[in-house]
Amino acid sequence: GAIKGLTLDTCEALGLELPPLPADLAATIQAELPDFVAASNPLDLTAQAITHPEMYARTIKPLLADDSFGSLLLTVIIGEASEFALAKGKACLAPLVGSSKPAILGLLGEEVNVPASIISDARAAGIPFFRSPERALRALARLTAHGRSLQRAHTREAMAPMSLPPLSGQEQSGGATLTEYASKAYIAKLGIQIPRGRLVGNLLDASE
């Protein structure tokens, strides 16, 4: 609960959005949680995950599969290096491996002697590893800002005016303002359909 509160405060300070769980996803995750806690974002798996490590995969995989979320941060307490710590670390890491979305593993306790294989396995899978949730959230905020910057640039590029063909000598001969015929000929170059017609110089040509 304390880490959940810390996450909410830090995300607010960093401008990181925490989308609510869609109703169907909330129901899926709620089925994996004890009755005394509600499915929400941030999600608290409670101490039940200690004796039921399969809760990590059963809750993380649906979150990663949902389009409401662009990334996921898993914050856990591993504890000192031991067989139990190793088993818990692997259970936390397994559902993050192969994610198509940014997935981060954050641990509590910078002084804790975490099993070395947890860190090496995370790095081998391309999963960023942080010793504190604050650092992980700051990194995620930077990544989010970068992604939004790329999106804005892509939008500007898509909205940029198309390259127009130059005016021909005949079209320019009328001066700064194009004649109706020259305007239609130019518009046709842009691929825009115009009424069928042609330029004539006398009544005889017009009657043909």
pLDDT in tens, the chain (208 residues): 788 888 999 999 999 889 899 999 999 999 999 989 899 999 998 888 888 889 999 999 999 999 888 899 988 877 777 788 888 888 989 999 988 888 998 887 777 788 888 888 999 999 998 888 899 999 999 988 888 888 888 777 766 666 667 776 655 555 567 888 888 888 888 778 888 888 888 888 887 6
CA–CA separation, 179 vs 198, rounded Å?
Answer: 13
Per the structure block, which two tokens stand in for 90?
Answer: 């692997």
pLDDT given at position 172: 58
pLDDT given at position 21: 93
Q: Which residues pair with 172 in a beta bridge?
A: none
Helix residue spans in 112-202 (DSSP H): 116-124, 133-159, 169-172, 180-189
pLDDT given at position 162: 60
C-alpha dihedral sign at 118, 120, 125, 130:
positive
pLDDT given at position 174: 53
Query: Which residue carries 């609510």 as its tokens?
Result: 20
CA angle, residues 145, 151, 152, in degrees to nearest 5: 90
